[in-house]
Structure 1
Amino acid sequence: MNKGLLIVLSGPSGVGKGTVCSELRNKQNDLVYSVSATTRVPRQGEIDGVNYFFKSREQFQDMIARDALLEHAEYVGNYYGTPRDFVERTLASGKDIILEIEVQGALKVKEKFPQGVFVFLVPPSLDELKHRITGRGTENSDVIDSRMSVAVQEMSLIRYYDYAVVNDQIDSACHRIQSIITAEHCRKDRFISELESVKEASEKA
């Protein structure tokens, strides 16, 4: 009954997933961050197994073939993905693990790991989301309009998630997610599942 939880934090681009995830880890230092695998070259100061699991293209393709990834995607010529083994070993050790990921990736994870806890981070309003994207000052109006259109489409997928948390203030959003984690650890279904596993093991012994 000490198995950890996989918490999948997702939401539209610009909603503040990275900021909330970082602050949540600061507040709850026993929360493990899900390290992704990638085929891109390590940047200066990056450490294998800490920032990413750095793989050759052949190694990554082998992971795909062995179904060793909960999800994967190719971006700008490089593969990125979530190693199943790292997640499962962390959970088996009794630690909770958080995966911060975009919406389509989260839905892929849910197909392979439906027992995870899926949290959708919501902006206070679409106007505020546009303000946050515009505030970056890195994109022109056409790109911003395109990103907003995608964001609206992504928000329609909220029905596939377990929880929705409004990111109005970082501390408040983190507190709500911590409350979700506490509540999930108390779900009777998790206890029943663990008890059934123990019962099956004792019957086989």
Structure 2
Amino acid sequence: MKGHLFVISGPSGVGKSTIITYLLKKIPHIRYSVSYTTRPPRRGEVDGKDYNFISKAEFKEMIRKGEFIEWAEVYGNLYGTSYRFIYEVMEQGEDVIMDIDPKGARNIRDKIDHSHLIFILPPSVEELFKRLKGRKTDSDEIIDMRLRQVFQELRESRWYHYVVINDDMASAIRAVEAIIISFRYLRERISNRIEDIINGYKG
């Protein structure tokens, strides 16, 4: 495949969505892999843009047909990533960025060449709690459940290719952007242009 896949993971409230939204506007030739989920939409989320919202019956049928490259149950809801979308986009030479949990990231790493795993860490657990409370999209019960998962999620960062600490959003965005852009300069990705330059030399 000609493109690369960038997997973004991290605990809820760490800023993954903000980082991805900015990069999709800033970096050309990169597309977001919209996951499928059985959870209900949050306020402001758009079907087909933020997630593909489907029923559990539909999700299980997609599992049966082998349409997911990975899927997992997270906080009682099912999430999955489409094989077809990722392969078609990467084969066209474009990059893909996605937001999935560490279990899904492991599956991606094992199944797709040219996949690069980036973990976003909060500056502290206390700061993460403040962010979760401040965004007001989840109940206190859900927030408590997410926080109980935080320590396990943070340990998962040890096997990621890259770790970015989001103690400043602008700096975190620049760090992830630099990682993605660096792969645009791999020799294999610009080999045709290199040959054109070399063959164009008349000396």
- TM-score bin (small chain): 0.7 to 0.9
- After superposing the two structures, state which structure 1 stretch, 127-136 or 155-164, moved more: 127-136
After TM superposition, give the deviation of residue 186 of structure 1 in Å.
3.7
Alignment-derived partner of residue 175 in structure 1: 174
Contact 2:3 2:114 in 1 (8 A): no
Contact 1:7 1:119 in 2 (8 A): yes
Instruction: Give the letter for the 2:5 counterpart.
Output: L
Contact 1:70 1:113 in 2 (8 A): no
Deviations 1:44-90 (A, max 9, x none): 99565x55556676654343234321212356886431101100100
Q: Distance in 2 between matches of 1:134 and 1:41?
A: 20
Alignment-derived partner of residue 115 in structure 2: 116
Q: Matched residue of 2:29: which SS?
A: coil
After TM superposition, give the deviation of residue 121 of structure 1 in Å.
0.4
Alignment-derived partner of residue 81 in structure 1: 80
- After superposing the two structures, state which structure 1 stretch, 34-43 or 159-168, moved more: 34-43
Q: Matched residue of 2:34: which SS?
A: coil
Alignment-derived partner of residue 64 in structure 2: 65
Q: Distance in 2 between matches of 1:156 and 1:47?
A: 32
Instruction: Give the letter for the 1:171 counterpart.
Output: A
Q: Distance in 2 between matches of 1:178 and 1:17?
A: 13
Specify whether residues 129 and 186 from structure 1 end up closer, same or farther in structure 2 by C-alpha distance, changes over 3 A only: same
- After superposing the two structures, state which structure 1 stretch, 6-15 or 162-171, moved more: 162-171
Alignment-derived partner of residue 102 in structure 2: 103
After TM superposition, give the deviation of residue 165 of structure 1 in Å.
0.8
Q: What TM-score, normalized to structure 1?
A: 0.74
Instruction: Give the letter for the 2:71 counterpart.
Output: H
- After superposing the two structures, state which structure 1 stretch, 165-174 or 84-93, moved more: 165-174
After TM superposition, give the deviation of residue 182 of structure 1 in Å.
2.2
Q: Matched residue of 1:121: which SS?
A: strand
Specify whether residues 87 and 39 from structure 1 end up closer, same or farther in structure 2 by C-alpha distance, changes over 3 A only: same
Deviations 1:97-120 (A, max 9, x none): 100122333223223225311000
Q: Distance in 2 between matches of 1:126 and 1:64?
A: 35
Contact 1:68 1:83 in 2 (8 A): yes
State how 1:143-182 maps to structure 2 within 5 Å: 144-182=143-181
Q: Distance in 2 between matches of 1:87 and 1:179?
A: 22
Deviations 1:168-187 (A, max 9, x none): 22221111111111223444
Alignment-derived partner of residue 199 in structure 1: none
State how 1:43-62 maps to structure 2 within 5 Å: 46=46, 50=49, 52-53=51-52, 60-62=59-61
Alignment-derived partner of residue 35 in structure 2: 36
Unaligned runs of 5+ in 2: 192-203
Contact 1:7 1:116 in 2 (8 A): yes
Contact 2:109 2:116 in 1 (8 A): no
State how 1:190-205 maps to structure 2 within 5 Å: 191=188
* Root-mean-square deviation (Å): 3.4
Unaligned runs of 5+ in 1: 195-205
Q: Distance in 2 between matches of 1:108 and 1:92?
A: 20
Alignment-derived partner of residue 194 in structure 2: none
